[in-house]
Amino acid sequence: MSEDLKTSDAVVVGGGPVGLIAAIALACQGIATTLLAPKPPHSDRRTTALLGTSVDILKALGLWEAIEAKAAPLRKLRLVDGTRRLIRAPEVLFDAGEIGLEAFGYNIPNEELLAVLRGALAQQQNLRVLEQSATRITVSPDSVRVELGGGASITAKLIVAADGRNSICRTAADIRTSKRPLPQFAVALNFTHSRPHNDISTEFHTDSGPFTLVPMQGLRSSLVWVCKANDVERIRAASDADLAREIETKCHSLLGEVRIEGARGIFPLGVEIADRFANKRIALVGESGHVIPPIGAQGLNLGIRDADAIARLAGDASREGNDMGSEAILEAYDVERRADIRARAAAVEMLGRSLLTDFLPVHLARGIGLEIASRVPFLRRGLMQSGLGKTANG
């Protein structure tokens, strides 16, 4: 029989980037929080482009200075139609200066981001960190109980589920997901190059999906290469030298000579969105609520906005003496996050699929859309701001 050793106002389940940010955000709201963060089985060699609102949220949490020191600014975004289609979109260059920003975002290696976040955990007064997994979640009307290995358990008012795409918290909350696999994979790797990137991120739209170069500090960049299933085995098996030559060719030697750094990660792509984002004292944040393809750098940025929203709502409830896990708070969270998540997932999926189709009108629409958006100043600014998670009005 398990003994109820501990209580906490909130428990965050999961020590990925979203779980760490949610735990810090809740603790900053004065909420007694327990974070369950088992050690990850392997290191994460991906990088993340942190965009507009994420930067604002991380600044408010006092985390930005340390993150910025390890990140590379993305001052310009270049879109190049690399398809061999009859109708191709014009090359477009967006400059963050046009919307009054120094940079659209900042690209940081995930391991560096996690190191900064882990370092910040120890400085939070209201936070307890356990390197343990949740094994079972039981919801009752007034509280929720999280069982840990070894018979211990924690009782809380609110669970913030940051336990990733196979979330046991989501199952305990009786939330279903809709899943749509895509016929593509993402190859993610980092490389050094002989020419400077000049803080420009370049996205080639190819017949299999986007091929995106994202600046890192120095003469280094990360690549997210969306490819079809029949290319994956060849890319997996290629020597570093052969792959470097292929990358050089695909990006028209834009960055000069390429050398692959470290291992390549290969990720099957799909869209998986929860039917609702909170229920039964459990709020879903990050990939427990939404998995979207790495197109337009939206996934973790959405997760950071989730963490910010639940911490704010729980903080307000706590200050007003209300139950932070009540139906009203969870409903408010679901309403606040629903439109943002669904709209971005739909846009990312549409872009991923539009590049695959051979249907001419789709290419026409994409080409004309980009042409108009790039020439009409208010559309151009709106497009840039919405990519950052902001509305066209700021």
The nearer residue to ligand FAD, 210 or 367, going by C-beta atoms, is 210
For residues 55 and 61, what is the distance between their CA atoms, to the nearest angstrom? 10
Among 17, 209, 210, 387, binds ligand FAD (CB under 6 A): 17
* Closest to 308 (Cα-Cα) out of 9, 44, 55: 55
For position 46 contacting ligand FAD by CB under 6 A, the verdict is yes
Binding to ligand FAD (CB under 6 A) within 147-206 occurs at 162-164, 168, 186, 188
Shortest CB 176 distance to ligand FAD, Å: 18
Distance CA 187, CA 37 (A): 27
DSSP string over 177-204: EEEEEEEEEEEEEEEEESS--TTEEEEE
Helix (H) or strand (E) holding 338: helix 327-354
CB nearer to ligand FAD: pick between 168 and 317: 168
* Contacts (CB under 6 A) with ligand FAD, residues 296-325: 297-301, 303
Choose between 38 and 382: whose C-beta lies nearer to ligand FAD. 38
d(CA 144, CA 105): 38
Interface segment toward ligand FAD; rule CB under 6 A; list 172-180, 273-281, 292-300, 309-317: 292-300
**Rounded Cα gap, residues 15 and 36, in angstroms:** 7
CB 54 within 8 A of CB 304: yes
- Give min distance, CB of 320 to ligand FAD, in A: 29
**Helical residues (DSSP H) of 135-289, grouped into ranges:** 168-172, 229-237, 240-250
Q: Does 287 bind ligand FAD (CB under 6 A)?
A: yes
C-beta of 306 vs 363, nearer to ligand FAD: 306
Interacting residues with ligand FAD between 248 and 267 (CB under 6 A): 267
Looking at the DSSP bridge assignments, the partners of residue 272 are 179, 291
Which residue lies nearer to ligand FAD by CB, 172 or 373?
172
Binding residues vs ligand FAD (CB under 6 A): 13-19, 36, 38, 40, 46, 48-49, 133-134, 162-164, 168, 186, 188, 224, 267, 286-287, 294, 297-301, 303
